[in-house]
Amino acid sequence: MSDNTQKLWGGRFTGETDPLMHLYNASLPYDYKMYKADLEGTKVYTSGLQKLGLLTEDELKKIHSGLEEIKKEWDEDKFVRHPNDEDIHTANERRLGEIIGRNIAGKVHTGRSRNDQCVTDLRIYCRDLLNDKLFPDLQALVDVMIKRGKEEIDVLMPGYTHLQRAQPIRWSHWLSSYATYFTEDFKRLRQIMDRINQSPLGAGALAGHPYGIDREFLAAGLGFDGVIGNSLVAVSDRDFIVELMFWGTLFMNHISRFAEDLIIYSTAEFGFIKLNDAYSTGSSLMPQKKNADSLELLRGKSGRVFGDLAGFLMSLKGIPSTYDKDMQEDKEALFDCLVTVEHSILIATGVISTLFVQKENMENALTMDMLATDLADYLVRKGVPFRETHHISGECVALAENLKLSGIDKLTLEQYQKIDSRFGPDLFETFNFEQSVERRDATGGTAKSAVLKQFENLASQIHTI
């Protein structure tokens, strides 16, 4: 028997497929992940055929029973793959024929093309992965950061610009900054879901369905929010995949920056945090080493996800309408992107929930020069224009440096008043890190009340859906 008799497209061909071509063409090694979506799509599609009178109730019952048996085989890892199984669609239909007979199984593809079938499966797969994993995992990551931030609200640390000490902030404020990024990622992913959850099923190969199938019925049965209104677009649109992978690159950019901060903070030079042993490794040569490999991998795998997007965009950019085999390249890139993102969320959650904050080291890193802006603000409150106070404060910093003092708080009142007579004895109240952060109580600031308000807002956003 020719292997072409096993293929969905084999009738036109009389020769055998080149074995290398078969391997090159096959996608089952990776698209098997969509087996649930494929079986679900076939189940609803055949219900649509029965509604048209193209299947009898008895035939539909046998088909659905066979599909359930196939699902059980996949679930229990007992599905036996055939050498000619080109993809998940071919494999499932071939197995259905073995279970209920080819005559009935051969009807399930009536009016349907793999063009609308495969993209339907992809949309279902992506939707389910987001709902079952990415959304709850992102919520858990943000929840851990909020919980930790509330517990460690009193810990102060340097805030940085240009990787130079800038102003004192709360450790919780740093946690809130990345919790904000991840919450925005969550919201952005929700918006993409609206475009993912549209049904292409019933569009046929490209021109539409020849038997007038009820596409709204199919969409509702598969849990889609609507129907893609143009059959040409329905089978060829991969924008939702590009958007998902773009979302993945942006999320991994945030994760990479998050990891880089923690890598720096974990070094002996900073000593702000210690990673849990579960997220560290040692050196094969130097027994004293404790390497932040979890964070380095988060940073490194971001490049992998960026590459998935760039590679698929190059595959997609020059193909003509509508469906072309180039589009098969969507799955490996997409699956790799989504798995990498999912695992990265879980690793980041584990890291942040188990690391040890070295409060004393953080607070010892605070230096009085970081209060130079507060010194300028002191004069602002006395009515001096800020541009003038900025210059005056800079002179104070320069004088302390020239005198080799440990900080601007070591200058005497007399020395301050030589620079500007408007300095009074109360200026020394400025040199208090706790008061400095508490002065910044406007929305988004680092005061305790402001940070707690940020956490309240983030929690309400991440759990609104």
* Active-site residue list: 162, 283
For the chain, count helices (H), then strands (E): 20, 6
> Can you state the percent helix, strand and coil of the chain, rounding each to 5?
65, 5, 30
Q: Which long-range contacts (CB under 8 A, 24 or more apart) does 5-12 make?
A: 6/82, 6/84, 6/85, 6/90, 6/94, 7/84, 7/86, 7/90, 8/86, 8/89, 8/90, 8/93, 8/109, 8/114
Residues 205-241: b if buried by 16+ CB within 10 A, e if exposed: ebebbeeebbbeebbebbebeebbeebebbbbbbebb
Cross-strand bridge partners of residue 169: 157
DSSP 424: -
Q: Pick from 94, 87, 99: which is nearest to 32 by CA?
A: 87
Instruction: Please give, one letter per residue, the 3-state secondary structure of 8-50.
Output: CCHHHCCCCCCHHHHHHHCCHHHHHHHHHHHHHHHHHHHHHHH
